[in-house]
Amino acid sequence: MSTNYNLIQNKGSATIKAWTKGVPFEEQAQQQLQNIATMPLIHSHIAVMPDVHMGKGATIGSVIPSVNAVIPAAVGVDIGCGMVATKTTLTASQLPDNLSGIRQAFEAAIPHGRTGGRRRGSRDKGAWHNIPDIVATEWQKLEKRFEHICEKHPAIKNSNHVNHLGTMGTGNHFLELCLDENNAVWIMLHSGSRGVGNRIGTYFIELAKKEMQRHQINLPDVDLAYLEEGSEYFADYVEAVEWAQDFAAKNREIMMINAIAALRKQIPVAFSTADLAVNCHHNYISREHHFGKDCFVTRKGAVRAQKGEMGIIPGSMGARSYIVRGLGNPESFNSCSHGAGRVMSRTQAKKVYNIQDQIDATQGVECRKDAAVIDEIPHAYKDIDKVMQAQKDLVEVVYTLKQVVCVKG
């Protein structure tokens, strides 16, 4: 298979292979990768995706294989964050001319951001006030494993879990109605493990830091604290992360069910959604075998793209998104990008752009166009087409989607 990556000069023992040709690659992100490359637990090399940008401790848009250890901050606190997309049998001509009703129906069906249903006594407006039957039923399937984790780590129990199951969250999480190149209608959404995943991630990151202090291990960045296999908290962390990943996948599944139900009430035409559905993580760990060794692969802002495996690469709000098929490139540890990737921080975007810029950038999309979502303006992200070109040896495009309705957290 041909290679499309750059080799990055580094001081560490691990090689850095970056699929960043033709896209911005900030110096701070490069330095973070240099830091990770010095870690003794890294296996073979680090793979860098074209949507790469600086994160907390570890770089977003990186694939980090490790042997006998994991770095909790590399997984992050939005554990299991990912995408789900479903193709429907509807076509563009069957949608109403005014799509505001569909957006309002989506917003009413799925608690999100700062405008969703509110629990009594809680400041979290994006949680359920009254738990729907589907949420209660699915939580029962997750609860026993969660209670087992909490027996050893009771601090995790005091978090939003069932109240967040089936809810979107804030930031760059979204729900969209899209059209593909053949005018077929898709529903696509982005979310993760919500409050409970955040609690798990934050909790074990701090435990890992304490482990480093206890063993007097010096790190290039304190957020790169790791847990070694066989240590006190390693197995508990892996168990908790795998549970949070299951929670996140189920969270997206419930939201998709509710979104489809909401759409049915707005469309007088019967339709099905059995044609194609994709549900994939992009902040997670996976036990895999690469370059002769069993290892933990941490994908922080990256999607698994084994040969033939379907994935989703969303563009920014107002830009195209892609349903892709993995090419199984071993050099990337069978991975691809998870989106376009930011080129400026949320704070900077709010300083540079205004509401009119947001209106202009999202023409033709039924969505919020106010000051609260300027940080998600398409200009704050890399050019998705250049990102796709940079990873042409990682995935092939199956469908190209353009949103017509967008609900932002």
What's the whole-number mean pLDDT along residues 349-366?
A: 91
Angstrom CA distances, 285 to 21, 252, 272, stand at: 26, 18, 33
CA distance 402 to 383: 14
Give the range with max mean pLDDT: 109-118, 122-131, 304-313, 370-379.
Answer: 304-313
* 36 Cβ contact partners less than 8 Å away, ≥ 6 residues apart: 12, 14, 42, 46, 58, 59, 62, 64, 71, 74, 224
DSSP letters for 76-124: -SSTT-EEEEEEEEEEGGGS-S--HHHHHHHHHHS--TTTS---TT-S-
Whole-number percent of the chain with pLDDT over 90: 79
pLDDT recorded at residue 1: 54
Band the pLDDT of 12: cuts 50, 70, 90.
low
CA distance 399 to 409: 25
Q: Give the model confidence (pLDDT) of 285-338 as tens digits.
A: 999 999 999 999 999 999 999 999 999 999 888 789 999 999 999 999 999 999
CA distance 58 to 300: 8
What's the whole-number mean pLDDT along residues 252-259?
A: 96
Q: Architecture of 6-343+381-408 per CATH?
A: Alpha-Beta Complex (3.90)
Whole-number percent of the chain with pLDDT over 70: 95
Decide if 69 contacts 227 (C-beta within 8 A).
yes
CA distance 43 to 293: 8
Nearest Cα neighbor of 313 from 33, 110, 85, 55 is 85
Q: Which helix (H) or strand (E) holds 186?
A: strand 184-191
What's the whole-number mean pLDDT along residues 173-199?
A: 95
pLDDT recorded at residue 120: 37
Does residue 190 have a pLDDT over 70?
yes
CA distance 380 to 316: 8
CA distance 25 to 62: 12
Q: Which of 148, 153, 338, 379 is catalytic?
A: 338
Does residue 354 have a pLDDT over 70?
yes
Band the pLDDT of 117: cuts 50, 70, 90.
very low
What's the whole-number mean pLDDT along residues 125-145?
A: 93
Between 118 and 56, the more confident residue is 56
Task: Compute φ and ψ for 220, nearest 5 degrees.
Answer: -70, -20
pLDDT recorded at residue 124: 58
Residue 338: active-site member: yes
Task: Compute φ and ψ for 158, nearest 5 degrees.
Answer: -80, 65
Decide if 336 contacts 49 (C-beta within 8 A).
yes
Band the pLDDT of 158: cuts 50, 70, 90.
confident
Give the total residue count for the chain. 409
pLDDT recorded at residue 18: 97
pLDDT recorded at residue 114: 53
Does residue 119 have a pLDDT over 80?
no
pLDDT recorded at residue 199: 96
Cα atoms in the 13 Å half-sphere on the side-chain side of 232: 10
Band the pLDDT of 134: cuts 50, 70, 90.
very high
Does residue 47 have a pLDDT over 70?
yes
